[in-house]
């Protein structure tokens, strides 16, 4: 797989005894997903580094070697202890693991001619215990190297159009290799294949049920924290709240400290809401650090989006450093808790600002020192977002909290656009060109470009045809919006010079609160994954601002689709927003991601 693991976190198995299956991690993006799939079968599986000595794995009933981004043809690639292959423990190599098996046992691996990426069809060429109940399957491939000659004792058990040896086995030694990924959803028979391996071949027995997950994590927390206490910088997001609550349960409220920094860049009533949730959870040591004035001062006069982000990141660092010093969190009695989840630990495809996302929490010198000396607990690093929500439900984090949409760390600051100079909106044959710069992604690069406004309400055709055609054809824009309603003619509108101010943030907060109230009442909230409401300094006369609605659906934030609102509802909402004196127009973003990012900055 293409994405290397940045940091590998391993679920500590000591709490419930020895895992039956161990997944050896060769750096693949999906390593933890394999372990998760095995646990879903009811068998306890963990993840360990690929070079774990065979002697430490002697009690396992089976070993799975994961896929990884390396090439066995290059020196220094991740490797396994060869003694594993003589230990009579069944081994399943997946993708890179398949190639590693071939290489270790005397087969041959070579650079493929064209690689094989995406969906393929597996033809079963030979009966095999791994195929029990299967005659073939849609599979998912992602490889360039390929096994070109079998090791002694092996036979080909499956092939695809491109890979002659897509699967191989030596049933006598219980060694199996598959070039494809059974753990991903696109491999239709994937779970069946893992089941055949885990139960049929390894003879594992059911020993894991989801209800053991929370006690296991809590035990791990107690083991790591020992006699010390834990402090968290909580964001009000799902991950840090669930991680915090797990610590609260494991250690008791007197040993868990939560700090929430109110940057003044929050949505309306966010701080009281977060405070009430933490009270409901039983937090006794929870402080809100009010830092609105500091953040606004740091942002004063800035218009450039990346400069705004930087200023916020730096301000976070200052506030955190101050809290660390005044509360003495750096003395040996404390360790840092964080809500890092598994996808945060892998490098993301380059478009999401994973570095920036982590900046707020990781860059403070004191925190860096805590991390380097291992004084950190991250109870959720083995889990995906949906599992974190499930865990949250299990430990009774209120549903109103778990169901919340993601909200960016820099808050409303990146939804309140600024401009350094006045400029007119111009009428073009394609629509009205608004000279405000919003961010987009083309390939891996972020670019700031203008916005094209169509002078009518949003339609499906605009989203599917007009917007992509315009963003493809014009190099000066990366977004297209539709006009839902305005006070006056768009041709008379202009952009004015504007920076972040309390006044503008209040207008945005009000508009955002109107939208949220409408979404909750109409049920639209459940149709969208996220719904940024953006303020742009575009208007005329007394009304100097416009509101952009950006409802999208996404699975992981990496790509996003525009979600359209039912016209009657949109009309009502537009009317409510235009009733705000400062608001001149309401627009609807018609741009999928890519080319438009979810946020406007």
Residues in touch with ligand XMP (CB under 6 A): 352-353, 356-357, 406, 408-410, 530, 557, 593, 597-599
Minimum distance between the CB of residue 199 and ligand XMP, rounded to whole angstroms? 39
Nearest to 516 by CA among 551, 556, 554, 481: 551
Query: Cβ neighbours of residue 42 under 8 Å, at least 6 residues apart?
Result: 206, 207, 208, 209
Q: Which is nearer to ligand XMP, 16 or 356 (CB)?
A: 356
Residues 85-103: b if buried by 16+ CB within 10 A, e if exposed: beeebbbbbbbbbbbbbbb
Structure tokens at 182: 């059974």
Minimum distance between the CB of residue 289 and ligand XMP, rounded to whole angstroms? 18
Q: Which is nearer to ligand XMP, 275 or 593 (CB)?
A: 593
Query: How large is the angle between the packed helices 238-251 and 213-225, nearest 10 degrees?
Result: 70
Say if residues 259 and 283 touch (Cβ distance below 8 Å).
no
Q: Which is nearer to ligand XMP, 145 or 601 (CB)?
A: 601
Bridge partners, residue 226, by sequence: none
Report d(CA 390, CA 384) in Å as an integer. 10
Q: Which is nearer to ligand XMP, 147 or 480 (CB)?
A: 480
β-pair type (62-65, 91-94) = parallel
Minimum distance between the CB of residue 362 and ligand XMP, rounded to whole angstroms? 12
Nearest to 330 by CA among 285, 303, 293, 364: 364
Structure tokens at 345: 């630990």
Active-site choice (181, 218, 247, 601): 181
Q: Which residue has the tokens 């849609």?
A: 138
Q: Which is nearer to ligand XMP, 273 or 553 (CB)?
A: 553
Minimum distance between the CB of residue 601 and ligand XMP, rounded to whole angstroms? 8
Say if residues 342 and 35 touch (Cβ distance below 8 Å).
no
Say if residues 217 and 379 touch (Cβ distance below 8 Å).
yes
Active-site choice (116, 183, 195, 545): 183
Q: Which residue has the tokens 């006598």?
A: 172
Active site residue 489: no
Q: Which is nearer to ligand XMP, 141 or 598 (CB)?
A: 598
Active site residue 181: yes
CB-CB neighbours of 227 under 10 Å: 6
Minimum distance between the CB of residue 596 and ligand XMP, rounded to whole angstroms? 8
Minimum distance between the CB of residue 305 and ligand XMP, rounded to whole angstroms? 11
The DSSP secondary-structure symbol of 4 reads P
Q: Which is nearer to ligand XMP, 389 or 593 (CB)?
A: 593
Bridge partners, residue 45, by sequence: 21
Say if residues 62 and 91 touch (Cβ distance below 8 Å).
yes
Widest CA span of the chain, in angstroms?
83
Query: Cβ neighbours of residue 467 under 8 Å, at least 6 residues apart?
Result: 480, 590, 591, 592
Minimum distance between the CB of residue 420 and ligand XMP, rounded to whole angstroms? 22
Active site residue 183: yes
Query: How large is the angle between the packed helices 213-225 and 385-394, nearest 10 degrees?
Result: 90
Task: Show which residues are catalytic.
Answer: 95, 181, 183
């Amino acid at each position: 797989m293409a994405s290397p693991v940045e940091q590998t976190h391993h679920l500590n198995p000591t709490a419930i005894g020895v895992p039956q299956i161990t997944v050896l991690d060769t750096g693949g993006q999906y390593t933890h997903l394999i372990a998760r799939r095995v646990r879903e079968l009811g068998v306890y599986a963990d993840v360990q580094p690929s070079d774990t000595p065979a002697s430490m794995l002697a009690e396992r009933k089976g070993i799975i070697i994961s896929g990884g981004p390396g090439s066995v043809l290059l020196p220094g690639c991740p490797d396994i202890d060869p003694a594993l292959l003589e230990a009579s423990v069944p081994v399943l190599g997946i993708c890179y693991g398949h190639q590693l098996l071939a290489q270790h046992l005397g087969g041959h691996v070579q650079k493929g001619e064209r690689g094989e990426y995406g969906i393929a069809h597996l033809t079963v060429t030979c009966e095999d215990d791994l195929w029990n109940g299967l005659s073939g399957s849609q599979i998912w491939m992602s490889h360039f190297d390929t096994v070109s000659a079998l090791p002694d004792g092996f036979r080909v058990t499956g092939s695809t159009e491109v890979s002659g040896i897509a699967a191989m086995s030596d049933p006598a030694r219980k060694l199996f290799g598959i070039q494809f990924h059974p753990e991903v959803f696109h491999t239709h028979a994937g779970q069946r294949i893992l089941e055949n391996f885990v139960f049929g071949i390894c003879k594992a027995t059911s020993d894991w049920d989801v209800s053991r997950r929370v006690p296991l994590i809590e035990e791990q927390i107690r083991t790591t924290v020992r006699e010390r206490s834990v402090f968290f910088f909580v964001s009000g997001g799902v991950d840090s709240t669930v991680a915090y609550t797990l610590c609260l349960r494991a250690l008791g409220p007197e040993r868990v400290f939560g700090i929430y920094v109110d940057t003044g860049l929050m949505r309306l009533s966010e701080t009281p809401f977060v405070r009430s949730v933490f009270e409901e959870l039983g937090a006794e040591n929870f402080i809100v650090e009010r830092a609105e004035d500091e953040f606004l001062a740091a942002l004063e006069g800035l218009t450039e989006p990346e400069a705004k982000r930087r200023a916020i990141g730096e301000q976070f660092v200052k506030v955190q450093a101050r809290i660390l010093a005044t509360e003495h969190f750096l003395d040996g009695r404390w360790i840092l808790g964080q809500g890092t989840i598994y996808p945060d630990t892998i490098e993301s495809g380059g478009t999401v600002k994973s570095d920036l996302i982590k900046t707020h929490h990781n860059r403070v010198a004191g925190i860096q020192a805590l991390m380097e000396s291992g004084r950190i607990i991250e109870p959720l690093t083995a889990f995906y977002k949906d599992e974190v929500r499930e865990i949250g439900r299990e430990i009774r984090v209120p549903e109103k909290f778990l169901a919340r949409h993601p909200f960016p760390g820099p808050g409303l600051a990146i939804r309140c656009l600024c401009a350094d100079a006045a400029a007119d909106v111009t009428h073009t044959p394609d629509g009205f060109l608004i000279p405000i710069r919003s961010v987009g992604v083309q390939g891996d690069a972020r670019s700031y470009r203008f916005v094209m406004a169509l002078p009518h309400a949003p339609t499906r055709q605009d989203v599917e045809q007009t917007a992509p055609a315009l963003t493809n054809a014009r190099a000066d824009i990366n977004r297209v919006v539709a006009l839902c309603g305005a006070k006056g003619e768009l041709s008379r509108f202009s952009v004015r010079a504007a920076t972040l101010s309390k006044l503008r943030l209040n207008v945005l907060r009000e508009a955002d609160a109107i939208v949220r109230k409408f979404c909750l009442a109409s049920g639209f909230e459940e149709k969208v994954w996220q719904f940024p409401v953006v303020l742009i300094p575009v208007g005329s006369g007394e009304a100097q601002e416009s509101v952009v609605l950006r409802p999208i659906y996404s699975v992981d934030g990496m790509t996003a689709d525009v979600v359209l609102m039912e016209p009657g509802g949109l009309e009502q909402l537009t009317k409510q927003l235009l009733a705000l004196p400062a608001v001149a127009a309401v627009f609807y973003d018609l741009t999928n991601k890519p080319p438009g990012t979810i946020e406007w900055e």
